[in-house]
Structure formats: structure tokens, C-alpha cells
Chains A and B, each alone.
Chain A
Amino acid sequence: MLRVNHVHVAYGDVHILWDVSFSVGEGELVALLGANGAGKTTMLNSISGLLHPQEGEIEFSGRNITRVPGHKIPALGIAHVPEGRRLFPEMTVKENLEIGSLSPPARQKRKETLEWVFTLFPVLKEKQNQMAGTLSGGQQQMLAIGRGLMALPRLIMFDEPSLGLAPVLVKHMFQLIKDINQQGITVLLVEQNVMQVLEVCHRAYVIENGRIVLSGASAELLNNKYIKDVYLGI
């Protein structure tokens, strides 16, 4: 469904991504793992069209989207739940959800999707008229995910959804992402939280200093010596 081929990205003279290739199949839950500054967010922003690779190609559903401008990406069926949530703090919870469904097909089903998101996150229904900035961290993360789902995406990308959440909530968050995937939505999950992610995802790629250094099924990676040494510390 999503195919990234030999992508290079640089900001000015600073080369961030080197020859990155990976793919996400229809219905899969794939993780992109790596430490801070490995280039994970840059990768997602390249898919979202906020920046464009200097070299290489990004393909979605057989269509080359390498040069498609950012505002046209959601209408293709890709939703991005950004790092740090990036909600609109001075808009209500409901408005934050509504703005997730700007593309015409999502706009048409706005009411039904809103009800669906409210059943997934009852707390958002309760607080729908509150400003998003007044929610707690966990609630804000739910709102960010709900906002992504409002686009009725075929592929949803999560950028560090566990960031800043209490350990109990982190577990809940990953379970939720798994549930979303089981409803038939393809997921690309970017995380540093290696252990817990490998427990929920199908496959994973490990990215270090802008290069993919390792990939495989999650069960395989959990037993990989390098992963154990460097990321799991066992």
C-alpha cells in the first residue's frame, strides 16, 4: 500500500535520511523504531508532503506521491497523528474533530464518523464543547487520534503517540492502535518505545542516523541480539 524507495532527505546542508526504503502492506501494522533524532519524524513529514525528498520515491496505492503538496495528502487516504499532538488549543474538542474531516468524502460522512469516534472515546463526547487546550495529556492524545480517524483514512500514521503519557496510559494507547488496525485501517507507527511496540506490531524497521539498519517480523526482532543489547537492555 505504501512504498518508500531509496529516499534521501536533507534540510539545507544537513542530510537527514539516507537511502531509506520500506513498505507497508494493506491491513498491516508496521512500526518504524529509533532513538531521538534518527529521522523518524522527517520520514513521516516526507510522506505527508510537508517536505519533499531530494532523491527517491514515495508511492501510495500505486500512485507516486513524492511531489504531492501536503494539503492534498489527506484526501488520498493518509492521516497523520503528529508528534506532540499538535491540536488546535483554542478550538473546541468537537471543532478539532470536525477539522479532521475536510476532504469531501470524509466531509459527507462527518456526522456518522463523529459518532463512531465518540463511541471509541466517550470522554471526548463528554468534553466536546471544551477548548482542546484544557484537556489532560491522555485526553489530548485521544483527541489527536480521533482527529486522525475523522479523515476516514486507509493509512494512519502515528508519530510517538506514547510521548508524555503515564505508563498505564501508554499500554492502553498501544492496545487502542492495535484495535484501530483490526478495524481494517493500515497503520504506520513511529516510536522509541521498542519493547511495547514490538508486542503489538506485525513488522518493524529500525532506523539509526537516518538509515534503516534492521527489519523483520516483530517476533524475530524481539529475539534479535542487537535489539536486545541496544534497545531492550537485556
Chain B
Amino acid sequence: MHLLGQTLISGFLLGGMYALIAIGMTLIMGVMKIVNLAHGALVMVGMYVTYICFVLWHINPYAGMFISMLLLFVLGSLIQRYMINRLVEVDSILPENQVLLTVGISLVLTEVIRFIFKSDYLSVSTGFSGKTVFLGKMSVSVPMTIGFVIAMVFTYLLHLFLNRTDLGMTIRATAQDRDAAVYMGVNVSRVTMITFGLGSAFAAAGGSLLLPMFYLWPDIGHLFTAKAFIITILGGMGSTAGALLGGLTLGIAESLGATYISMGYKDVVGLVVFLLVLLFMPGGIKSLVKR
């Protein structure tokens, strides 16, 4: 029985961190109406930044995370300003060309990182990486718990930002009706820059929190793109609360798969859940609530 409990808890904790990454993707999707297929690559770059801070300057990953978030905010804003926004202005053959662009960005980021760091597996080992605490008979990983708590704090802060500040309000308004936002005096291209920056910073935060538990190599980004995409579909696109629920669902599903099937198949379980949701609940978790 305690094995199940332990599995559920660690899935829940893992899911909270996945959710943070997916919330970044959802934010971008809501405002830009595009699937950001470079999201995982941004997570990966964020992880490398935190990794460098740790290896070169011995900065604790939880502190390095803030440096990583700041850098990724800037990187994301620049990508939006100089690449994606430019594509919005031109007539295209394919309406999906912004999505294709994000695929290209993802490849470039991945290969640049490979060029600098090679394809080796890297990891940070802090004093607490392997630490656990016991809840009765169940052991709970310390870095996962810290990561979960930080992820929830960030999620709550984002919620406050979107609902309590004028800037947050303009982001929501732009997501709902871009032209009407312009009528209100919203500088839409600035809002999209900030949104992409924030989404990227959240990607970096999620990646950094997972760094003590995951091996790091350049292609890990694709894995996170897939996860964020699955969560976003699960949660219904563009909804923060949905992304949170979707993240927890995926985390628990993967964790159950790892315990009861095989560690190597945990990602497969996530994908199976994804297929089932697409087939039977195409509106995501939201479609349960509405009925």
C-alpha cells in the first residue's frame, strides 16, 4: 500500500513542476494562438544556464534558477520581437508558418547547445540531490518537494500578476480579442514580447527545478516539448488552472507507469494518456467540468 502512496506523491510533486513548464506554453498559446514547439528547447537552455552557474560559480540551482529565468525572459522576448512578430506582419503561403518557425528555433537552440557542450549527459549533484524524508513508511524526495513548492509559488504569483495588475489584464485582453485590445490602447506587440518572455522564464524555472533529478543533454528539450504539449491539451488550451491539473495528471500517470510497468516506459504511459484524452475527451479536463 505504501508503494502506491509513495508513487502517487512523487507523481504529484513531479506533476507540479511539469505544470510550471506547461503554464509557460499555455500563456504563449493563449496570447499568440500558436503552439510553441520551441518550448522544450527553451526549458533545455534554461537548464544549461542553471547548470553553468552551478559548475562554474557554485551557485545553488535554486538560486541559479533566477539567473536562468532572467536570461530566458530576455531570450524569449527577443525571439518574439525579431522573429515571430515579423512573421505576423507578412503574408504567408502557410498559415502555420509561425509554428514552423518555432520548430526551426528549437533545432537551432538544440544544435548550438550541442556545439558548445557536446551530447554528454550532465548532472548536478548537490548535497540534497538524493535526500529523502519519511512520511510514515513512504519516502519522499527532498528536491522534488522543494521543486513542487517553488512551482506552486510561481504559479500563484503568475495568477496574481494576471488578475491584479494592469499589465496582467492587458495580457488577458490581448489573448481574448487582439483588435479590441488595440482600441483600448494596448501596445499589442509589446504585450506579446512580455508574454513570450514570461513563458520562457517559466520554462527555465521548471527546467531548473527538475535539474537535480534529470540528466541533462541537448535533446532533452524535445521530451519537454512533448510533455508541455500533452499537458496543454489535457488541460484545455490557454487555461492556467487546466495546465496545473494536466501537469498533475501527467506526473501521476508517469509515476504509476514507472513503478508498476518499468522506469523506461514512463514516458510511454504519458503518451498513452494523451492518446486516450484526444480520443475520448478532446476538450481536455475542462470538458468534464462543463457537462
- Which 4 pairs show the lowest CB-CB distances between chains A and B? A74-B185, A86-B180, A70-B182, A71-B187
B182 contacts A50, C-beta separation under 8 Å: yes
> Contacts A95-B169, A107-B166 hold; do A151 and B176 have CB atoms under 8 A apart?
no
Chain A residue at smallest Cβ distance from B191: A71
B169 contacts A98, C-beta separation under 8 Å: yes
Chain A residues bordering chain B, tally (CB within 8 A): 26
A151 contacts B173, C-beta separation under 8 Å: no
Chain B residue at smallest Cβ distance from A95: B169
List A contacts of B185 (CB < 8 A): 71-75, 102-103, 151
CA of A192 to CA of B245 in the docked complex: distance in angstroms?
A: 48
A102 contacts B177, C-beta separation under 8 Å: no
0/1 interface trace, chain A 130-173, chain B, CB 8 Å (1 if under): 00000000000000000100010000000000000000000000
Is B150's beta carbon under 8 Å from chain A?
no
A86 contacts B186, C-beta separation under 8 Å: no
CA of A41 to CA of B33 in the docked complex: distance in angstroms?
A: 25
Is A89's beta carbon under 8 Å from chain B?
yes
CA of A147 to CA of B172 in the docked complex: distance in angstroms?
A: 16
Chain B residue at smallest Cβ distance from A90: B176
CA of A85 to CA of B184 in the docked complex: distance in angstroms?
A: 12
0/1 interface trace, chain A 2-18, chain B, CB 8 Å (1 if under): 00000000000000000
B239 to chain A, nearest CB (A): 10
List B contacts of A210 (CB < 8 A): none
Specify which of A50, A75, A91, A100 lies most central, judged by the most chain B CB atoms within 10 Å of its CB. A91
> Contacts A95-B169, A99-B169, A99-B170 hold; do A87 and B187 have CB atoms under 8 A apart?
no
Specify which of A50, A71, A107 lies most central, judged by the most chain B CB atoms within 10 Å of its CB. A71
Q: Which of A's residues lie within 8 Å of B, judged by CB? A: 48-50, 70-75, 80, 82, 86-91, 95, 98-100, 102-103, 107, 147, 151
B112 to chain A, nearest CB (A): 34
Interface hits, B153-203 → A, CB 8 Å: 166, 169-170, 172-173, 176-177, 179-180, 182-188
List A contacts of B172 (CB < 8 A): 88, 90-91
Interface hits, B116-171 → A, CB 8 Å: 166, 169-170
B93 to chain A, nearest CB (A): 16
CA of A102 to CA of B170 in the docked complex: distance in angstroms?
A: 9
A40 to chain B, nearest CB (A): 16
A82 contacts B183, C-beta separation under 8 Å: yes
Among the listed A70, A71, A75, A91, which residue makes an inter-chain contact with B176, where contact means beta carbons less than 8 Å apart? A91
CA of A24 to CA of B177 in the docked complex: distance in angstroms?
A: 29
A-B pairs with beta carbons under 8 Å apart, 22 shown: A48-B182, A50-B182, A50-B183, A70-B182, A71-B182, A71-B185, A73-B185, A80-B183, A82-B179, A86-B183, A87-B177, A89-B176, A91-B172, A91-B176, A98-B169, A99-B173, A99-B186, A102-B166, A102-B170, A102-B184, A147-B184, A151-B184
A90 to chain B, nearest CB (A): 6
